[in-house]
Amino acid sequence: MKKDKHAVLSILRDKILSGALKQGDRLVEIPTAEMLGVSRTPVRIAFRALEQEGLLTQLPRRGYQVREITNDEIAGSVEVRGVLEGLAARQIVEKGLAGEVIAELKQCLSDGDALFSDRSFNEEKVQTYVEMNRKFHDVLVKGSQNNAIAMALQINEHMPMASVSSLVFNPDESDREYERLYYAHQQHHDIVQAIEAGQGARAESLMKEHAQAAMNRYEQLSKGTTSRTIRSE
């Protein structure tokens, strides 16, 4: 089994994002290398990259540490995602390239519609939703033809809780959760409609609002019920 060049980086990032490595945990080169069955070199490179991504901080001579991410930081991160994805939506319209992406976006919409056709909502459906959601945002960002947006988002997407690929779901309130995701999906509809109609500014502000919605949800949560985080990729 030939490991990919970035395997160590991915594995470590995953462990952090999934919570296997908790905030505040210390991470040292040699033990980490042994744990993963590789040498120190790839671990070192990965640590540096994760530091750059803001997931680790270096304690001088005491290894690295999984950074504490405050709620404020998550909120800030969501704002950033909002303006960047908003820009993407606007630029799709402004560049007049909407036609080429609309089809893909509409595919996402109908995939979503299918999910909401009956009110039942289990974990599997949520997983599908998360993937569709991710696809939607992906198409939008790529469709903007502005690579700087993707680059700027990249770091953001590695922020726990703030990325499009992770979503908090509380199975005990599946009814309310249904409502919430349904609402988010309606926003997708509105956004596509705005893009199609050439309403760049409207698409932009809808998109910002859409990012914000996830945040409201998160704030309302935070008092640790039995919710689960579901991620894609």
Nearer to its own copies, 69 or 102 (CB): 69
Nearer to DNA, 9 or 162 (CB): 9
Q: Which does 209 bind (CB under 5 to 8 A by kind): DNA, its own copies, none?
A: none
Q: Which residue ranges make up the site for DNA (CB under 7 A)? A: 2-3, 5, 7-8, 28-31, 33, 38-42, 44-45, 58, 60-64
* Minimum distance from residue 44 beta carbon to DNA (Å): 6
Nearer to its own copies, 108 or 207 (CB): 207
Q: Which does 133 bind (CB under 5 to 8 A by kind): DNA, its own copies, none?
A: none
Q: Which does 3 bind (CB under 5 to 8 A by kind): DNA, its own copies, none?
A: DNA
Nearer to DNA, 30 or 221 (CB): 30
Q: Which residue ranges make up the site for its own copies (CB under 8 A)? A: 41, 44-45, 48-49, 52, 54, 72-73, 76-77, 79-80, 83-84, 86-87, 91, 145-149, 151-156, 159, 162
Q: Which does 186 bind (CB under 5 to 8 A by kind): its own copies, DNA, none?
A: none
Q: Which does 49 bind (CB under 5 to 8 A by kind): its own copies, DNA, none?
A: its own copies
DSSP codes of every residue in 55-118:
SEEEPTTS-EEEPP--HHHHHHHHHHHHHHHHHHHHHHHHTT-HHHHHHHHHHHHHHHHHHTSS
* Minimum distance from residue 49 beta carbon to DNA (Å): 12
Q: Which does 39 bind (CB under 5 to 8 A by kind): its own copies, DNA, none?
A: DNA
Edge-first strand order for the sheet with 56-58 is 26-27, 64-66, 56-58
* Minimum distance from residue 150 beta carbon to DNA (Å): 22
Nearer to DNA, 36 or 102 (CB): 36
CA 12 → CA 49, 100, 182, 226, distances in Å? Answer: 11, 37, 33, 25
Nearer to DNA, 11 or 213 (CB): 11
* Minimum distance from residue 156 beta carbon to its own copies (Å): 6
